[in-house]
Chains A and B, each alone.
Chain A
Amino acid sequence: MTNESSSENMLLHALADGELDAATAVSVEARIAADPALAAEYARIIAVKARTKALGKPAVSEDFASRISAIGMPQKPTSSRAAIWSFDHPSWRALAASVVMTAFLASGGTYLVTSSGNDTSVEDAIANGHHRSLLATSPIDVVSSDKHTVKPWFDRKLGLSPPTVDLSADGFPLVGGRVEVVSGAPLPSLVYRRRQHLISVVAQPLKNGTAQNQAPVAKTVDGYNMVEWTGEGFTYWAVSDLDTVELREFVDDFRKQ
């Protein structure tokens, strides 16, 4: 039996693996031919190699392959513009379908559909942004539980900063903030926490003509609970995997401040 750690033994493996140059391979083969112990060891290496290889690789299910392919698709884009304009995007297809439908039923209603479709895209972008932030190494760009740190950070970064409220007494500590890109515009997103759940609050300055102080509206977007409301010059979207009751509680606390 050859010494297990000898370089001669390793040469047998290298020969079996086709990792030897021709000259070395010839000389190792000659030694195998002359030594039955070496030949037995070599046969054993070949056998183990074949058996391991015979195990094969796990099958890639169609479902899994399409899940992975979807990572590269613009559903979870690095810029929300892609989410809005890609035809692959469900909301875009839904929008297209509803445009056709409306045109068919009542020409003239197109404006309404387009504007509500736009909102859907904004909500999708916000839900996607929240989702992506959970997958990222860190869901926040500025880590601080102090609103006096987060607010100036947004001011410096974006030139605007939404009211940053302290809700730790209500059980929703501030974790930090990040910048969300929605419809091509960078928007501040505050991140709060309840237990292990993160809540993103995206704020968009109100456009002229938008009604102030709209009451909160709850909805579900891409599997996340979302509440939208306006107040203090901003439209707010709170998105989280928290249940609707607790998210509503959060929104109420947020608006009270």
Chain B
Amino acid sequence: MTRSDQSAELFRQVVVPHLADALALARWLTGSVHDAEDVVQEAAIRAFSAINTYEGRNARAWLLSIVRNTCFTWLAKNRPKDLVLAGSSADMEASDAEQQRDPALDPEADLIRRSESQAVETAIGALTPPFREVLVLHDVNDMSYKEIAAMMSIPIGTVMSRLARARRQVAAQIGRTTT
């Protein structure tokens, strides 16, 4: 067995089992299922060339953090307007409040007709990126607070407050559309 055979084998063990998680994260960060495949494929190529940096534990967290970085490069290249860099939390608060007030962003009548899961998807899609990211990493990808904190380089307290706020906004959105 050559060294490249071993890398290939390791790559298949580490990356392939977590493709659904990788696609889920990329889908929510890019906003599109189709783009998610492109991003995950690019991330997989990066993962393969960096397979030697894999430390042998928590393959999923390792892969997801590559997917996350790839998403940001991809967004910067393909949709520079959409890339919202995390500002101060006061900024985010202000933009959240604006979003909730703006009737154009809250087409209630339309939403009521949609199925519940569509309402949840819409609600998650309406979150600002730093909140959406934490919610997806936790509630879709099943990452722990600690893993998310390490991946995003933020304190655990910030993970908790973002998650709490994200869920509250999703709940408020669903509450408006299903009752």
Q: How far is the CB of B94 from chain A (nearest CB, A)?
A: 15
Residues 139-176 of B at the A interface (beta carbon under 8 Å): 139-140, 144-145, 157, 160-161, 163-165, 167-168, 170-171, 174
Contact stretch, chosen from A5-13, A172-180, A185-193: A5-13
Contacts of B139 in A (CB 8 A): 49, 52-53
Contact stretch, chosen from B41-49, B80-88, B98-106: B41-49
**Among A47, A71, A79, contact of B11 (Cβ-Cβ < 8 Å):** A71
In this assembly, does B92 line the interface, its C-beta being within 8 Å of a C-beta of chain A?
A: no
**Please, what's the 1-or-0 string for A21-53, where 1 marks a CB less than 8 Å from any CB in chain B?**
000000000000000000000001101110111
Instruction: State the interface size on chain A (CB cutoff 8 A).
Output: 37
Q: How far is the CB of A49 from chain B (nearest CB, A)?
A: 6
Q: How far is the CB of A82 from chain B (nearest CB, A)?
A: 5
A57 lies within 8 A of B140 (CB):
yes
**Chain B interface residue bracket vs A:** 35 or more
Best-surrounded residue of A47, A49, A65, A71 (most CB of chain B within 10 A): A71
In this assembly, does A249 line the interface, its C-beta being within 8 Å of a C-beta of chain B?
A: no
| CB contact under 8 A between A57 and B23, given known A4-B168, A17-B145, A49-B167 | yes
B167 lies within 8 A of A13 (CB):
yes
A58 lies within 8 A of B121 (CB):
no
In this assembly, does A106 line the interface, its C-beta being within 8 Å of a C-beta of chain B?
A: no
**Among A10, A49, A71, contact of B45 (Cβ-Cβ < 8 Å):** A71
| CB contact under 8 A between A13 and B8, given known A49-B139, A53-B139, A65-B16 | no
B27 lies within 8 A of A58 (CB):
yes
| CB contact under 8 A between A68 and B117, given known A13-B164, A57-B20, A77-B4 | no
| CB contact under 8 A between A19 and B120, given known A51-B174, A68-B16 | no
Contacts of B5 in A (CB 8 A): 74, 82
Residues of A whose CB lies within 8 Å of any CB of B are 4-5, 9-10, 13-14, 17, 19, 44-45, 47-49, 51-60, 64-65, 67-69, 71-74, 77-79, 82, 135
Please, could you name 6 A-B residue pairs with CB atoms under 8 Å apart, sorted by A?
A: A52-B140, A55-B124, A65-B16, A68-B19, A69-B12, A71-B11
